[in-house]
A = this chain, B = another copy of it.
Amino acid sequence: MEAILKAQELELAQLVGEKMYESDAAAHMLGIKLLEIKPGYAKMQMSIRPDMLNGHGILHGGMTFSLADTTFAYACNSKNHKTVALACAITYIAPGCEGDVLTAIAREQAHAGKSGVYDITITNQNDEILALFRGNSHRTSHAVV
């Protein structure tokens, strides 16, 4: 019985992910791919292109944040409650370089009422942590799909 419920929640999360991704113009512009989505969880990938570098020749902080923020959005909408970001914070650990393939994993850490907290870790192809992101979310009363 619980297994059926879990399978249904997983299916719903995947449906939400597909639906959001379809019309997510910014994610497409940045070449971000949705690798996996489960209730309270998402995994996405982005390769660092030359046009994502800043004036110091390393990955622009806004690009790192965009990957994390996107993954956060998919994770916090994954239960089909339309959810928005209230406030987010990022700490930069190591620079990203052209050609690096970045993976972002978002996990729900806590929730209470309509508020939620998600942590997103960004690593490169060598499993080195580039940045840690924490997002505070607010659930609306609408459904995503």
A53 to B86, CA, bound (A): 17
Q: Contact at B92–A23, with CB atoms within 8 Å? A: no
Where chain A touches its partner, the secondary structure class is mixed
* CB <8 Å contact, A92 and B87: yes
A73 to chain B, nearest CB (A): 7
Asked whether B66 lies within 8 Å of A54 as measured between CB atoms, the reply is no
Q: Which of B22, B73, B110, B132 contacts A110 (CB 8 A)?
A: B132
Question: With A117-B132, A136-B86 known to touch, is A26 a contact of B63 (CB < 8 Å)?
Answer: yes
A interface list, Cβ under 8 A from B: 19-30, 50-57, 60-63, 65-70, 73, 82, 84-94, 109-112, 115, 117, 119, 129, 132, 134, 136, 138
